[in-house]
Structure 1
């Protein structure tokens, strides 16, 4: 205004001038500043789900990738899964803990149905997930509904999809697809992160020192699902991992369920325990 030698005068005149000229500032956009977590303080979890990829032979694969990311170093762990059940979440978390060498103080989840129950009183963490968190020594945090920015660090890692899609029609088998995802995982951890400017693998060397140890094997095994079905052969035996195990003869030609519990193999027919080895 001074350059035009225009004297507006009082503040009220200034406001009138701004309104007349249409110079009102636009409405402020809410900002969500990046927050940093201390080493070992937090990990974030998400699914990249229902990605369709086609093999060289035209076979269609629906891909779900579990995405686990340490907040401080941005170190990622990806795992391929066919489904997104609660058991998948638990087993993927255990794999992530083993891959990173420990457990963070808290884990931030989006509002996935396998973690959160919606009740008339509001959101409630699923009892089994709560017990799992207690046994492994971390707290569960939930993203605010419709506020995905609270898990922005894990969302940023989803750029790996851009690296996965070029393999469409390039792989042969599911095993190839799993190896491709592992290679992309390694690439993500070795490239400089946009926020830190440092490859996650380097910062991870420090962060892993702050992770808590995993619980004892007994607790870990109790959360693993080793169930599978098998048909009882005419010699009254079932095959499991290259070995043969006996069951009562009356179950010949029946389908039974095999479940490994610690160092024992439990064999069930329907809900009845029929043999232990």
Structure 2
């Protein structure tokens, strides 16, 4: 398979990864009101945790990646309780300065521990090579795995945050925190769980993304613009909007690099400007 079909396939896979890594930022920004520019650090934490578990300790890939996501979620929960909780009632400038400072701290610490180079990616044999979907149409086994897994996780995230009492309570707490507390909602626990889930999803995305886009200590800064683009295009606080925006960004980015390698990066930013002029509130406005 070549040409347009492979561009659409690879772009969709890339978009799924962007969705997993950015949907937690959509939650913290849109529902919890926190401008968390350090969100990419959680994706990097999940990636480096999977490197340690799978590459260095020899843990099976299908066990190491979920465990890396759980480790990232636990770290995110601790940081929310110790640090981020103090930012909820602070202004956006304080949030931006604090979280971007955390990114540089992460880069320095991870460079010291793992070095500045790209990290290795160990895939099991059944995820290597090509799979024939039909005669003349072969795709990478790992990319097909990512597409299926991403679809399943996206459906689970949508159901969990948009169709459950938990998601409704989070939105209620963001709309009026004092009122939510007054009707018996434990706001602090809700925000902690939401933050931990978002961090864990980012960690899973970072671990899964290593064979596709690589991993090094500068990862949080390298992809920060993409995470912000996905959230702003999709509409902060919406799962559906983040998914649609991530798929659009992934397909446009891959298509630009394939057809216009000299101007591929420009296309993304031109798309952002055009779409935000068209729908400044995002593709899916939160209600």
Q: Which has the larger radius of gyration?
A: 1
TM-score (norm 1): 0.23
Pick 1 or 2: higher relative contact order, CA cutoff 8 A, min separation 6: 2
Higher strand share: 1
TM-score (norm 2): 0.22
